Structure 1
Amino acid sequence: MSEVDHGAQLPQEAALEPAKPITADLLLGIEEKQRVRFGGGKVKTGCVVLDEVLGGETRGRGDADGDGKGNGGGGLERGIVVGVSAEGREGEGVLISLNLIATMLMPYLTSSSTPKTTQPIAQIIDTTGSFPLALFANVVRSRLLSSIVPSHQTGPETANYTVVAENDNSRTAWQEGDIEELVGQALEIVAVSRVFDIEGLWEVLGEMNRPPAQTSPPAAQQQDKRETVRTSRPDWELPIEREIDDSQAETTPALSPPMEKQANEPELTTSHEEGIQILLIHTLTPLLTSTLSTRPKPEAHALITALSNTIHTLTTTHNILTILHNTAVPTSPSSKFHHESGGGSERKARRETHLAPSVFPSGTVKPALGLIFDQFVCLNILISPLPKSRGDAAVLYGHDSNNPLSSTVDPNHCLVIEILKDESPTSSSRLGAREASWTAVDVDGAGTGFVAAFEESACPRGEALGREREARGGSGARDQGEGRGRGRG
């Protein structure tokens, strides 16, 4: 076999030119064009009051920042990283994420105008091995049932229904038994990966970053790939895996395959409708905790920072809605909040750690990992239980000491969903426009979604929780924010 002098095929090394800076107006223009190209509406949870808070709306205005431009409707925009902190691994926080995923799936299940797909559009990364798939199926089933109305073309005895897609006027008649088939179709386009260390998370994120055309190439392409040089190494280290004759060596440069591949790569990433559209990591807390406890501190923080940058780049480049689950930890050893002795120290401790404080000083939980988790997210959401009425607050915090039943009666709670941080990279609204917004919700009877905790006529802006907050020492600035309609009830 004739030997090939690979050194003779290397081109002459050219002098490296310094990188030229890119002006800020050009970068901003590229980002604006990217958002226009991606387009698409916001992703909703199915609960109106919750979607208004997540979308930066206030009731009756739809313009949280007051710039007169509106905020594009309720729900979460794509292309951002959202953190959801709640108590427990399968607490109420997972219901928000499951409903957001279900919203992304609905057009593929019920709309005749949306082409069917067999590729996953949702990626779930399970770090605990206990992701509630059964609950997710129930959420999808509930959303399907909530979007159907009895068909007027067929009598009720036939058990036919008309499925109405969200934001779609098309209707398709379905038999009652077809709902289960639709649920199965929904599960087919959801990919679930189980990882138990940060290296596994890196691997899954790397697979997502590949263009859809390269994830599962046909057998013919795989055979061609074996016969050509690989482009993952520098040009001077490219191995030649097939025998090249002397005549072929003169006419076929070794560097031509990488150059052709590089020219074709932009075409593979221009399609934003294919591939993963929503990513859920359930949960990020154990991976970060394990990294911090098993690696040297500088190495652990460097690795966490690199992971945060990778998630942000993947999210913005592919216009993905990324949701990171986080656990919540108690703010104090006791669940009771003694504002006479601990209120000032609690607020001082939060200021010292530069954490965004809750609008409710009596809140008993806060996001775990503090600033370490905060660097991952653009929008930081906290879900915390609070007493539902003034009487419930008196029972919980022991102010009604003369009542012998106060120690035996369980107070009623509602879930307060508030936004601690808003640094979404959008130029259409003020930075931090959604911060300090909140709403009070309850889990619905089926356990698959949320409903408003208060009737609009009785508590249009959550005055019951506002009174409880004032009694615990709420700040004047936050009270003024509620007066502007920031609180949602």
Structure 2
Amino acid sequence: MDTPASSQHFPPEPLPAARLAAREAARRNEARARGPCRSGCAQLDDYVLLGGGLERGCVVGVSAEEEDAFGLVLGLQVLVGALLDDAAATALVVTPRPAAGVLLRALREGIAAEMGARGVDAAQARGRPAARACLERVRLSCVFDLDGLWEVLADLDAPGGSPPPASIRASAAEASAAAAADRRPARSPVSEIQDSQDEASASSPPSPPPPSPPPRRREADARRPPSVVLVARFSALLTSLFTQREKSAAHTALQLLGAHLRHLSRSLPSHPLVLLLNSTTATPSAGAPPRPPLEPTLRSVFHPPPLPGCAAPAPALRGDKPSFGLVFAQLLDLHLLCARVPRAKDDAAAVTRPAAAAAPRYVTVVEVLLDDMGLWQGGTGHWLRREQRWAAVDVVGGRVVDGFARPQGASPELRL
């Protein structure tokens, strides 16, 4: 007996491809009108990414060899730049670590470094109203596994603009104040220098805390969809997922997560940039058993496959691969690999000579491993793809900058 039509779940009717293309073009044009999220490093924004920064409305993965020393710095630099460029922008940071730990300290240092690069002196950049205003617009959430991440992301898409859950109600400024209070010794009346460096010296009297923002403004910031969603230490979440669930169930959960991340980046009014910070794993050494070659979208241009009959590359030239490989890459629209390489020829030679007099110097190469969406230029047709584009950068003063200073307009002198 047939089931009544009213109780059946019919699949959606097919739509013409022209209509879908028009919707996608309108969406990407609207995201482009908001401007890219710049990192502040010209080599990365203009040469590697071509469009002046990371496009909004997409999911970007950053696999860094030094996850805290470089990957987190780069992610927070993009986030802070978006907050300083738009006074109404907000951001969401999700981490499996306690909010008062490494990430909160890196966020404060990133705000101070970015404001200093924009001409604000150090005294004003640390703990002053402008920096606190940025902290007030950053929502922090601590999760323990992928289920916790799902709960945080589900509230971004909640109907009616419902307030965020208790896990993300505290802003970065509130978490920073709580962390400073926890570190303050109760038995000593002498003031100490906090991480925010608000005091000029240990002997100076403590400054009064800055006034809290009005409750209405804080509630409005909490309801406003974020412009940047940053998930730190994503590899730790993947590790716990594959530890707690069967392999097939874990892959199904990741497919659903990838679809939801793309849905959020494309459907929220703010067209948020979603940043997933991943780690890397070392490639097998020359004496290890042979393994299948890496997929082209996981292989660095500095780590080409060995030619038949040729020896394996030197250890100094072996690159790392992203943790979880294709499992992580399936979530992304754009994938950046950040790995250290010797700065010059002499440094590469020093790596292979343990008894070298001088320690080798390194730079971090940021290259595009995967670019599924291409660079949108305002119309359909051929899209510029940025795969295998790379630039050498370094971390100086808490910011990612060009690794090789040269006169403005001069072409890079780097060769593979």
Would you say same fold, with TM above 0.5? yes
- 2:258 matched residue in structure 1: 308
- 2:74 matched residue in structure 1: 96
- What is the distance in 1 between the residues matched to 2:12 and 2:126? 58
Structure 1 residue 202 corresponds to structure 2 residue 150? yes
Sort the Cα spacing of 1:28 and 1:459 in 2 relative to 1 into closer, same or farther, 3 A: closer
- 1:41 matched residue in structure 2: 35
Name the larger-Rg structure: 1
Q: Is residue 385–residue 415 contact of structure 1 (8 Å, CA) maintained in 2? A: yes
After superposition, give the CA deviation of every residue in 1:173-209 in whole Å (9 maximum; x if it has no partner): xx94897111111111100000011111110010111
Q: Is residue 423–residue 432 contact of structure 1 (8 Å, CA) maintained in 2? A: no
- What is the distance in 2 between the residues matched to 1:414 and 1:459? 21
How far did 1:456 drift? 2.8
Task: Choose which of 78, 90, 94 in structure 2 pairs with 1:125.
Answer: 94
TM-score, length basis structure 1: 0.62
**One-letter code aligned to 1:27:** L
After superposition, give the CA deviation of every residue in 1:83-128 in whole Å (9 maximum; x if it has no partner): 111124412011111111111111345xxxxxxx5xx710000013
- What is the distance in 2 between the residues matched to 1:459 and 1:147? 21
Q: Is residue 48–residue 391 contact of structure 2 (8 Å, CA) maintained in 1? A: no
**One-letter code aligned to 1:412:** R
- TM alignment of 1:333-352, pairs within 5 A: 333=285, 349-350=293-294
**One-letter code aligned to 1:416:** V
Sort the Cα spacing of 1:177 and 1:132 in 2 relative to 1 into closer, same or farther, 3 A: closer
- 1:297 matched residue in structure 2: 247
Sort the Cα spacing of 1:199 and 1:13 in 2 relative to 1 into closer, same or farther, 3 A: same
- TM alignment of 1:23-422, pairs within 5 A: 23-38=16-31, 39-56=33-50, 73-109=51-87, 121-129=90-98, 130-148=101-119, 176=124, 180-211=128-159, 213-215=161-163, 274-318=224-268, 319-333=271-285, 349-350=293-294, 353=295, 355-361=297-303, 362-398=317-353, 406-422=355-371
**One-letter code aligned to 1:331:** T
- 2:311 matched residue in structure 1: none
Q: Is residue 423–residue 431 contact of structure 1 (8 Å, CA) maintained in 2? A: no
- What is the distance in 2 between the residues matched to 1:385 and 1:440? 9
Q: How many residues align?
A: 332
TM-score, length basis structure 2: 0.72
Sort the Cα spacing of 1:91 and 1:356 in 2 relative to 1 into closer, same or farther, 3 A: same
- What is the distance in 2 between the residues matched to 1:458 and 1:31? 37
**One-letter code aligned to 2:145:** D
* 1:436 partner SS: coil
- TM alignment of 1:434-445, pairs within 5 A: 434-444=386-396
Sort the Cα spacing of 1:132 and 1:212 in 2 relative to 1 into closer, same or farther, 3 A: farther
**One-letter code aligned to 1:121:** T
How far did 1:324 drift? 0.3
How far did 1:394 drift? 1.1
After superposition, give the CA deviation of every residue in 1:270-329 in whole Å (9 maximum; x if it has no partner): xxx941111000121111122112212211111111111111111111211000011111
Higher relative contact order (CA 8 A, sep 6+): 2
- What is the distance in 2 between the residues matched to 1:432 and 1:324? 23
Sort the Cα spacing of 1:86 and 1:49 in 2 relative to 1 into closer, same or farther, 3 A: same
Sort the Cα spacing of 1:211 and 1:375 in 2 relative to 1 into closer, same or farther, 3 A: same
Greater CA drift, 191-200 or 130-139: 130-139
Greater CA drift, 405-414 or 361-370: 405-414
Task: Give 5+ residue unaligned stretches, structure 2.
Answer: 166-222, 304-316
- What is the distance in 2 between the residues matched to 1:28 and 1:187? 39
Sort the Cα spacing of 1:123 and 1:377 in 2 relative to 1 into closer, same or farther, 3 A: same
- What is the distance in 2 between the residues matched to 1:134 and 1:376? 28
Q: What is the RMSD of the two structures over their aligned residues, measured on CA atoms? A: 3.1
Sort the Cα spacing of 1:188 and 1:441 in 2 relative to 1 into closer, same or farther, 3 A: same
How far did 1:459 drift? 12
Sort the Cα spacing of 1:33 and 1:364 in 2 relative to 1 into closer, same or farther, 3 A: closer
Q: Is residue 38–residue 52 contact of structure 2 (8 Å, CA) maintained in 1? A: yes
- What is the distance in 1 between the residues matched to 2:91 and 2:47? 24
- What is the distance in 1 between the residues matched to 2:160 and 2:138? 15
Sort the Cα spacing of 1:391 and 1:435 in 2 relative to 1 into closer, same or farther, 3 A: same
**One-letter code aligned to 2:163:** T
- What is the distance in 1 between the residues matched to 2:266 and 2:320? 30
Sort the Cα spacing of 1:124 and 1:418 in 2 relative to 1 into closer, same or farther, 3 A: same
Task: Choose which of 18, 21, 32 in structure 1 pairs with 2:14.
Answer: 21
Sort the Cα spacing of 1:97 and 1:427 in 2 relative to 1 into closer, same or farther, 3 A: closer
How far did 1:424 drift? 2.0
* 1:42 partner SS: coil
* 1:441 partner SS: strand
After superposition, give the CA deviation of every residue in 1:141-178 in whole Å (9 maximum; x if it has no partner): 222233237xxxxxxxxxxx8xxxxxxxxxxxxx9489
Percentage of identical aligned residues: 27
* 1:393 partner SS: helix
**One-letter code aligned to 2:373:** S
